[in-house]
Amino acid sequence: MNEYERVSKLLSHVLRHEPEFIDIHPDNDGWTDIATLLRQLQIHGTPLSREMLEQIVQDNHTDPFTISSDGLFIRSAQGHCATQTAIDHPPQTPPDILFHGTAISFISDICELGLIAGKRNNVHLSADKNTALEAGARHGDPVVLTIAAGEMFKTGYPFYLADDGVWQTPHVPIKYFS
């Protein structure tokens, strides 16, 4: 792993999972002051320039980040495990069909429990089957589930669209996927 990849993974870790690792304190929406982030990274042995941070934000499609419109704050666009972070996206009407990529080794649990958020705030879904396949491949031999999102929405399940285009919902019951 090169230095660029190492720093990108570290950013994902602190912005999504463990901000206290470098002693930063995101607000309830996950935003962290960029100047503070860069200073704390420096203090903890990972110097990072603003230019390199912006390059990582631009390049990182696996664990995407969002910089605020004023350029002062950053947050992970999705996948927060930190309990204090609940990004407030308004509910939206999803496409009729969405996809979820997972590893085949998880299928028996999924068929028993449905899709659950686990350590995340929500289940992540994709409008694109290939993107779901890539997501599933990160965890082993991939399988893609087809989600009846339109039907779920009509029966009252909320859906949210993250800044990076990932659809999210708290839970997908068994009867809504194949």
Question: Domains in the chain, ordered, with CATH?
Answer: 3-76 (1.10.10.970), 98-176 (3.20.170.30)
Alpha helices (runs of H) in the chain, residue ranges in sequence order: 3-12, 34-43, 50-59, 107-113, 129-137, 149-154
Q: 12 with 81: CB under 8 angstroms?
A: no
Q: What percent of the chain has pLDDT over 90?
A: 44
Residue 24, pLDDT above cutoff 70 = yes
User: Residues 77, 68: contact at Cβ < 8 Å?
Assistant: no
pTM for the full model? 0.58
Nearest in space to 111 (alpha carbons), one of 31, 56, 52, 176: 176
Residue 120 has pLDDT above 80, yes or no: no
Dihedral sign (CA 109, 111, 116, 120): positive
pLDDT, tens digit, 9 for 90 and up, residues 89-105:
788 999 999 999 999 99
- 146 vs 22, which has greater pLDDT? 146
